Copies of this chain bind each other. A is one copy, B any other.
Amino acid sequence: MVTIDCKSCTNIHCFIHKNLSPEWIKNYVKFQIPFKQGQNIIVEGSPVLGIYFIQSGKVKVFFTGINGKHQIVRFANDGHLLGHRGIGNDVYPISAVAMEDSTICFIDNETLNEMFLSNPKFTFDMMMFYSRELRKMENRMKNIAQMNVREKVADTLLLLVENFGMNSESEIDVSFNREDIANTAGTNVEQVTRQLSDFTTEGLIVKQGKKIAIANMDGLRKIISQHNPQIITQ
């Protein structure tokens, strides 16, 4: 793997860079690794070597369940952390795969511990990050437990928009397939197709080739509104 000096990382959204001074970056962030679309960044069950964060790119994070069925637990993009579930554990409980070509930075365990010990503010921010993630995850658990398929698919579309945004044509700005939606919503490809078809006839979305464009954001929000009185923002 090619590694280059990370001081070139200038992404202002990056969690690490937002919370550390330039000299810290220079000292501690040594590896910056390019990943191709579809390539594994983290494989569940492999030993925890450190923590990753995304300089640029788009990533899905998932468990592998029974007979290989994936359960996507979250999406991540520029500046987000990966592998933080591994902290305090010996192996990663989840896998992470690049949804598009991505550049990932890496900090090894030892360096990370040193950062925690010598920079309490960083530890505090990290704690708050976990707190937010926990709250989001609990909310998603409730959704998956109580929503029907229609609502879960709508919820997944909104999750994708929230994470990756839309381009100038209102298309969700990431490449994904029906299976990704199914694995996020907790259903199967056929149901996703049917629901997307329904949403199209209802004028909520517009399918153009492989891309999905959102035509009526509020319409989608309305579908899940009885479960989520207010949309949770990051």
Q: Are A132 and B88 closer than 8 Å at their CB atoms? A: yes
Q: A71-B146, A93-B138, A145-B186 are in contact. List 4 more A-B contacts (CB 8 A).
A: A65-B146, A66-B146, A130-B130, A134-B137
Measured CB to CB, the residues of A under 8 A from B are 63, 65-66, 69, 71, 73, 84-85, 87-89, 93-94, 116-117, 120, 123-124, 126-128, 130-135, 137-142, 144-146, 186, 226-227
Q: Are A138 and B66 closer than 8 Å at their CB atoms? A: no
Chain A facing B: main interface SS: helix
Nearest CB on B from A156, distance (A): 12
Task: Name which residue of chain B comes closest to A144, CB basis.
Answer: B145
Task: Name which residue of chain B comes closest to A133, CB basis.
Answer: B134
Determine which of B84, B116, B120, B139 lies in contact with A93 in the assembled complex, contact meaning CB atoms within 8 Å. Answer: B139
In the complex, A109 Cα to B124 Cα: how many Å?
Answer: 15
In the complex, A146 Cα to B182 Cα: how many Å?
Answer: 12
What chain B residues lie within 8 Å of A142 (beta carbons)? 63, 65, 71, 73
In the complex, A124 Cα to B94 Cα: how many Å?
Answer: 23
In the complex, A63 Cα to B135 Cα: how many Å?
Answer: 11
